[in-house]
């Protein structure tokens, strides 16, 4: 697709939030890389989002939703179309179920840390595994985020979705095809919110578990450098980081892109890395591991845009 100029499309008349044109992605991605986005829109409600998505669908303008930008790499050529930030969808409510469980209903832009903090305040258990995962609800549900034996699928009760043809719909847990690190829904379906079913617990136990998980992350993950979280999904047989380290790739560097010296399944930006350096290093790790072990490492990060 040729680069399009969306300045005359009237996007800023569809939503109250800002619309940024030719916006550098490196200002937003957790990795700190990425070229210019044709348009970056910030709807402030699900109604604005629905109006914007309907317009883009009618005009056949490519678009993608983005959350906390933490599991995303934008190529150096940027993105042709509209990226829609869901950060303005921040509603979070609690309700008590007759069976004694508690339902947390969160819009897509709510940070996972908010859910964890609320669970600590209210002595709710089930979502402690999200402690330290730097994402938001929409992205976490889409990728079935997980850690330390827990996954979003374990606590997700339902989601609310938006498509250009069917509008806003609620999908119950039984209709959600969760798999390892993915909720297998159509690419054009935007997750605008989710409900999580938690159990009542003991406040001191919930808090202790959260502290433990945060401590483990601090010890094992390279939080001192910009990164996009785990680069590869774990194969069934052995963790990706272990395969990478066994292949002797820990610490490998290309410019300012480096396989973390702390954890093999992280590629970090040591300062001025480019998207091309990071993706070239990712491809090289993938190739070397396959040659050495026969294991194909599937990227966990989402890669978008043009070279």
Helix (H), strand (E), coil (C) string for the chain: CCCCCCCCCCHHHCCCCCEEEEEEHHHCCCCCCCCEEEEEECCCCHHHHHHHHHHHHHHCCCEEEECCCCCEEECCCCEEEEEEECCCCCCEEEEECCCCCEEEEEECCCEHHHHHHHHHHCCEECCHHHCCCCCEHHHHHHCCCEECCEEHHHCEEEEEEEECCCEEEEEEHHHCCEECCEECCCCCCEEEEEEEEEEECCHHHHHHHHHHHHHHHHHHCCCCCEECCCCECCCCCCCHHHHHHHCCCCCCEECCEEECCCCCCCEEECCCCCHHHHHHHHHHHHHHHHHHHCCCCCECCEEECCC
Q: Worst-scoring range by mean pLDDT, 58-62, 200-204, 223-227?
A: 58-62
User: Looking at the 3D structure of the chain, how many domains does it have?
Assistant: 3
Neighbours of 7 (CB within 10 A): 13
pLDDT given at position 8: 81
300 assigned to active site: yes
Residue 122 annotated in active site: no
Out of 70, 85, 100, a domain closes at 85
Does position 39 have pLDDT exceeding 90, yes or no?
yes
Residue with tokens 């937003």: 28
Question: Are 212 and 231 contained in the same domain?
Answer: no
Residues 6+ apart with CB under 8 A from 261: 222, 250, 251
pLDDT for residue 71: 92
The pTM of the full predicted model, rounded to 2 decimals, is: 0.92
Residue 113: which domain range? 92-219
In a domain, 3, yes or no: no
Is 285 domain-assigned?
Answer: yes
pLDDT tens, residue by residue, 215-225: 999 999 999 99
**Which of the residues 136, 158, 161, 230 is marked catalytic?**
230
213 and 228, same domain (yes or no): no
Q: Same domain for 236 and 185? A: no
Longest CA pairwise span in the chain (Å): 57
Percent over 90 (pLDDT), the chain = 91
pLDDT at residue 103, rounded to an integer = 97
Q: Verify that 228 and 175 share a domain, yes or no.
A: no
pLDDT for 137 equals: 97
> Token digits for 251?
């610490």
Which positions ≥6 away from 306 have C-beta within 8 Å?
Answer: 35, 75, 77, 78, 79, 80
Asked if pLDDT for residue 3 goes beyond 70, the answer is: no
Residue 75 belongs to domain with CATH number: 3.30.43.10
User: Residue 188: what pLDDT?
Assistant: 86
For residue 292, give the CATH number of its domain.
Answer: 3.90.78.10
Question: Would residue 1 count as lying in a domain?
Answer: no
Q: What is the mean pLDDT of residues 293-299?
A: 96
Concerning whether 136 is annotated as a catalytic residue, the answer is: no
Structural domain includes residue 29:
yes
64, 81 Cβ separation under 8 angstroms: yes
Q: Looking at the DSSP assignment, which residues form a beta bridge with residue 37?
A: 23, 79
Mean residue pLDDT across the chain: 95
Question: Is 4 domain-assigned?
Answer: no
Is residue 115 in some structural domain? yes
Question: Where does the pLDDT of residue 1 fall: very low under 50, low under 70, confident under 90, or very high at 90 and above?
Answer: very low
5 assigned to some structural domain = no
User: Of 181, 226, 260, 277, which residue is the catalytic one?
Assistant: 181
What is the structure's pLDDT at 4? 53
Pairing of strands 63-66, 79-85: parallel
Q: Domain boundary at 194, 219, 244, which?
A: 219
From residue 278, give the alpha-carbon distance in Å to each of 7, 93, 109: 31, 39, 27
**Tens digit of pLDDT for each residue in 137-167?**
999 999 999 999 999 999 999 999 999 888 8
Same domain, 76 and 115: no
Residues 6+ apart with CB under 8 A from 11: 19, 39, 41, 52, 55, 82
Last-in-domain residue among 193, 219, 245: 219
Q: Residue 200: inside a domain, yes or no?
A: yes
């Amino acid at each position: 697709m040729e680069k399009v100029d969306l300045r005359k499309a009237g996007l800023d008349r569809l939503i109250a939030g800002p619309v940024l044109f030719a916006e550098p992605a490196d200002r937003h991605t957790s990795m700190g890389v990425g070229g210019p986005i044709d348009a970056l829109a910030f709807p402030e409600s699900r109604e604005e989002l629905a109006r914007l998505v309907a317009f883009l669908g009618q005009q056949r303008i490519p678009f993608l939703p983005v959350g906390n930008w933490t599991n995303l790499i934008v190529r150096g050529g940027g993105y042709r179309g509209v990226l829609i930030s869901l950060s303005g969808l921040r509603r979070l409510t609690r309700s008590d179920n007759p069976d004694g469980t508690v339902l947390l209903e969160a819009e897509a832009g709510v940070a996972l840390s908010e859910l964890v903090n609320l669970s600590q305040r209210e002595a709710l258990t089930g979502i402690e595994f999200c402690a330290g995962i730097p994402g938001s609800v929409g992205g976490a549900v889409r990728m079935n985020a997980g850690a330390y034996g827990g996954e979003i699928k374990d606590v997700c009760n339902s989601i609310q979705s938006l498509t250009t043809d069917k509008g806003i719909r609620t999908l119950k847990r039984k209709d959600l095809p969760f798999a390892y690190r993915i909720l297998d829904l159509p690419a054009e379906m935007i997750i605008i919110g989710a409900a999580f079913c938690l159990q009542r617990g003991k406040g001191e136990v919930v808090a202790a578990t959260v502290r433990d998980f945060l401590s483990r992350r601090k010890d094992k993950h390279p939080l001192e450098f910009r990164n996009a979280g785990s680069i590869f999904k774990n194969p069934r047989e052995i963790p990706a980081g272990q395969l990478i380290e066994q292949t002797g790739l820990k610490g490998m560097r290309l410019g300012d892109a480096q396989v973390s010296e702390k954890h093999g399944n992280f590629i970090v930006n040591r300062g001025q890395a480019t998207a091309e350096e990071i993706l070239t290093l990712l491809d090289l790790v993938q190739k070397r591991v396959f040659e050495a072990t026969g294991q194909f490492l599937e990227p966990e990060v989402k890669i978008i845009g043009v070279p």
